[in-house]
Structure 1
Amino acid sequence: MTHEEIKRYFESTPPPLEVNWKPWAKISDTQLFLRSCYTGIYNYNGPLEMCPAW
C-alpha cells in the first residue's frame, strides 16, 4: 500500500479516538497520531519500508 492508500483507508474507516496498545503504549488522540505518521511518511526520502513512521 502507498501512503495515500493508507490515508484513504483510515479516513473511510476511522480508528477509535483512544487506543491502549500495550500497558506502556497509549495513543490518546489517534487522529493526531495518524497525521504525524502521514507527515513523516510523506517527507521521508529513503525507501518507504525503512521509514520509522511506516
Structure 2
Amino acid sequence: MNLEEIKRYFEKNPPPASVDWKPWAKISDTQKFLGSCYVTVSTFKGNVETCPSWWHLKEFYQDMVKLNEVK
C-alpha cells in the first residue's frame, strides 16, 4: 500500500469524526489527523518507511480496515 491508496480508501470509507484510537491516543478530529499525516508524509525527505507520520497513518489505516470488516 502507498499514500495514494490510503487516501482513496479514506475517501470511500471515511472514519468516524473522533476515535478513541489507543488507550493513550484519542483523535478528536480524524480529518485533521489524516490531513496532517498526508502532508507530512508527502513532504518527507528520505525513505518514507522512516517517517513517523507514515507509521501512524499506516497503523490507523490497518485498524480502520479491521474495524470496518467487523461491521
Residue 7 (structure 2) aligns with: 7
Residue 28 (structure 2) aligns with: 28
Is the partner of 1:41 in helix, strand or coil?
helix
> Structure 1 residue runs of 4+, over 2 Å off?
none
Root-mean-square deviation (CA, aligned residues, Å) is 0.9
- Name structure 2 gaps, 5 residues minimum: 55-71
Q: Could you tell me how far apart the structure 2 residues matched to 1:42 and 1:18 are?
A: 24
Is the partner of 1:15 in helix, strand or coil?
coil
Structure 2 residue 53 is the aligned partner of structure 1 residue 47: no
Deviation (angstroms), 1:12? 0.7
Deviation (angstroms), 1:23? 3.2
Q: Could you tell me how far apart the structure 2 residues matched to 1:2 and 1:48 are?
A: 10
Deviation (angstroms), 1:2? 1.4
- Name structure 1 gaps, 5 residues minimum: none
Give TM-score scaled by structure 2 length: 0.70
